[in-house]
């Protein structure tokens, strides 16, 4: 197996066309608490994948889970959007991103880490890395998910982020349940952020 990523919470190994995700033990936590956290997060991520696979959402296919700390998922090959989003293609790609975030939110799934580093272009855009995802129908949570994408676009794609995010929101508003209300809440989330920055 080849170690492809080691983050704060997990190690990802590639074994052919399979990615094996192992959540890392945290020695600074009480062993009982650490085991419970890793188990609950693994089961939650497994449930997200099962839900998305069930509606044929473009994301890795879940192969299996030990329901404790390890997931096996499909390896998705292709360029990462972080490396290819540009002034020439942002409109088409951003429209697709907006529609697909709407599909996620319509299923009550909050990604939790919406960045172009977690999107891969194969025959279409695939979303990856649902390690921070959770289930929620709250307008606030959906607005916060969009706000995280805005911050990621601004920092990673400074030349096109405004046009890209505007296009994302246009498609999102059309396809998301309560899309207008969520975008209205997004403005309030951003206002709170600006107010905190002034303090």
Binned at pLDDT 50, 70 and 90, residue 163 comes out as very high
State the Cα–Cα distance between residues 67 and 133, nearest whole angstrom: 16
Question: What is the third-level CATH fold of 2-74?
Answer: Phosphorylase Kinase; domain 1 (3.30.200)
State the Cα–Cα distance between residues 176 and 178, nearest whole angstrom: 6
Binned at pLDDT 50, 70 and 90, residue 157 comes out as very high
DSSP state of 80: B
Task: Say which residues have a Cβ less than 8 Å from residue 173's Cβ, sequence separation at least 6.
Answer: 179, 180, 183
Which residues is 95 bridged to in the sheet? none
Nearest one of 80, 85, 95, 93 to 159, comparing CA atoms = 85
Q: Model pTM?
A: 0.91
Model pLDDT for residues 176-198, shown as the tens digit of each residue:
999 999 999 999 988 876 655 55
Model pLDDT for residues 93-129, shown as the tens digit of each residue:
999 999 999 999 999 999 999 999 999 999 999 999 9
Instruction: Give the domain ranges of the chain.
Output: 2-74, 81-198
pLDDT of residue 196: 58
- Rounded to whole angstroms, what are the CA distances from 124 to 7, 101, 113, 142, 158? 26, 14, 19, 23, 24
Q: Give the pair of three-digit tokens for residue 33.
A: 């608490």
Any idea which architecture 81-198 has in CATH?
Orthogonal Bundle (1.10)
Q: Which position has the higher pLDDT, 78 or 197?
A: 78
Residue 186 burial (C-beta neighbours within 10 Å; 0-12, 13-18, 19+): buried
pLDDT > 90: percent of the chain = 83
Please, what sign has the CA dihedral across residues 119, 120, 125, 127? negative
pLDDT of residue 67: 84
Q: Which helix (H) or strand (E) holds 73?
A: strand 70-74
Model pLDDT for residues 18-40, shown as the tens digit of each residue:
999 999 888 888 988 988 999 99
Q: Could you give the residue numbers annotated as active site?
A: 113
Strand 109-110 to 134-135 pairing = antiparallel
pLDDT of residue 29: 84
């Amino acid at each position: 197996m080849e170690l492809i990523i080691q983050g704060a919470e997990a190690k990802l190994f590639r074994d052919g066309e399979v990615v094996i995700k192992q959540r890392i033990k945290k020695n600074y936590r009480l062993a009982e608490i650490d085991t419970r956290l890793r188990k609950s997060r693994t089961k939650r991520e497994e449930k997200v994948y099962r839900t998305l696979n069930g509606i044929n959402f473009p994301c890795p296919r879940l192969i299996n889970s030990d329901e404790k700390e390890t997931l096996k998922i499909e390896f998705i090959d292709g360029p990462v959007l972080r490396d290819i989003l540009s002034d020439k293609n942002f409109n088409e790609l951003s429209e697709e991103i907006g529609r697909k975030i709407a599909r996620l939110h319509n299923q009550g799934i909050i990604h939790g880490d919406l960045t172009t580093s977690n999107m891969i272009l194969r025959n279409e855009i695939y979303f990856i890395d649902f390690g921070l995802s959770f289930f929620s129908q709250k307008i606030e949570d959906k607005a916060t998910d969009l706000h995280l994408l805005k911050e990621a676009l601004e920092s990673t794609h400074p030349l096109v982020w405004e046009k890209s995010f505007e296009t994302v929101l246009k498609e999102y508003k059309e396809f998301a349940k309560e899309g207008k209300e969520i975008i209205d809440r997004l403005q309030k989330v951003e206002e709170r952020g600006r107010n905190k920055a002034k303090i």
